[in-house]
Amino acid sequence: MGEFELINRFFRNSVLQPARRDINLAIGDDCALISVPQGKQLAVSVDTSIAGVHFLEDAPAFDIGWRALAVSLSDLAAMGAKPAWFTLALTLPNADQDWLKAFADGMAALASRYGIALVGGDTTRGAMSITVQVQGYISQGGAWLRSGAKVGDIIYVSGTLGDAAGGLHILQSEPHHAADETYQSLIQAYLRPEPRFDLLPILSSRASSAIDISDGFLADLQHILTGSRLGAQIDLKRIPISEALKTLVGAEHALKYALTGGDDYQLCFTVSPQRRLELEVSAEQSGLAIHPIGVITAEPGIKGLGAYQLGGFDHFAQPIGAQ
């Protein structure tokens, strides 16, 4: 199967290319042509996923497609942007038709939730690599920046932390638990992360800074602190950890996973104390779980960690747990 047949067969369809009035020209020419809504800023992010680094090589193709798009969309959610379009650069060792169909189906399943359209890309032969660039838009000046935190702001996280690391642990080290119903939420958290666009309505006018938790909570919180030139006081007892993760690895290791595990794609964000009550009421009314876990301080660094150290995933440093 040739490159253009591959594109036409698996990636040119009404699910991956829904009708949108802001798309003037999509797949089929040298460039896509897009009209950005008046009064909006364009938000752009790109992520590359490498087999054996960002996803398990033997993971289901559906999950690989879902995950590749999800991790990029999470960046838009962290900035408060509405997703609209994406491009895909796909490198494969061979054109396995069953794999390609499942991969495209997984990507389409997530894309259809938000009505986002695949507007272009590239396909090549080589070691498996998936690069997704996402584009969205946001009102002028409305983005949540890492540099926006203020002294006294409350630090929040959404959902529970460490679940994806727990899911990866099962798939890599304890596969006998993979079919156990108790741990399905952990495995799903790793294989099919959910971009937290559902938080945008309650955070739109309230968040002073935000970031998605991809490299580990402590590492990503530090990005906010570095950008804002501030510090943080953390209450470890308030870190939200699922019962499934505690059951799997015990409370102590569960906390380590929550602090440094990565791949959660929850949001960490800050809100002024004056807006805390209205935020928490809004979250409760919307059925959204958010957790205050600390406060922004003037003194640099993260306090309250006890024996735990700042850590997280870094492509150019030794991975967590490596000897």
Q: How far apart are CA 294 and CA 237, in angstroms?
A: 10
Tell how many helices (H) and how many strands (E) occur in the chain.
Answer: 10, 12
Q: Is 220 annotated in some ligand binding site?
A: no
Closest of 129, 162, 161 to residue 55, by C-alpha: 129
Phi, psi of 158 (to 5 degrees): -95, 160
Q: Is 235 annotated in some ligand binding site?
A: no
Q: Is 263 annotated in some ligand binding site?
A: yes
Q: Is 122 annotated in some ligand binding site?
A: yes
Longest dimension (CA), the chain: 60
Q: How far apart are CA 27 and CA 98, in angstroms?
A: 23
Q: Is 314 annotated in some ligand binding site?
A: no
Q: How far apart are CA 284 and CA 34, in angstroms?
A: 37
- Cβ burial of 310 (10 Å; 0-12, 13-18, 19+) is middle
CA distances from residue 255 to 176, 184, 306, 312, 322 in whole angstroms, order as listed:
23, 19, 12, 14, 18
- Helix, strand, coil percentages (3-state) for the chain, rounded to 5, are 40, 25, 35
Q: How far apart are CA 88 and CA 90, in angstroms?
A: 6
Q: Is 75 annotated in some ligand binding site?
A: yes
Buried b or exposed e, range 236-270, using 16+ CB within 10 angstroms: eeebbbbebbbebbeeebbbbbbbbbbbbbbbbbb
Q: Is 47 annotated in some ligand binding site?
A: yes
Buried b or exposed e, range 276-308, using 16+ CB within 10 angstroms: eeebbebbeeeebebbbbbbbbeeeebeeeeeb
Q: Is 54 annotated in some ligand binding site?
A: yes
Q: Give me 272's structure tokens.
A: 């002024």
Q: Residue 18 CA to chain centroid, in angstroms?
A: 23
Q: Give me 19's structure tokens.
A: 């009708």
Q: Residue 43 CA to chain centroid, in angstroms?
A: 15
Binding residues for ATP: 121-122, 146, 214
Q: Which residues are annotated as a binding site for Mg(2+)?
A: 30, 45, 47, 75, 122, 212, 215
Residues placed in the known binding site for substrate: 54, 263, 313
Annotated binding residues: 30, 45, 47, 54, 75, 121-122, 146, 212, 214-215, 263, 313
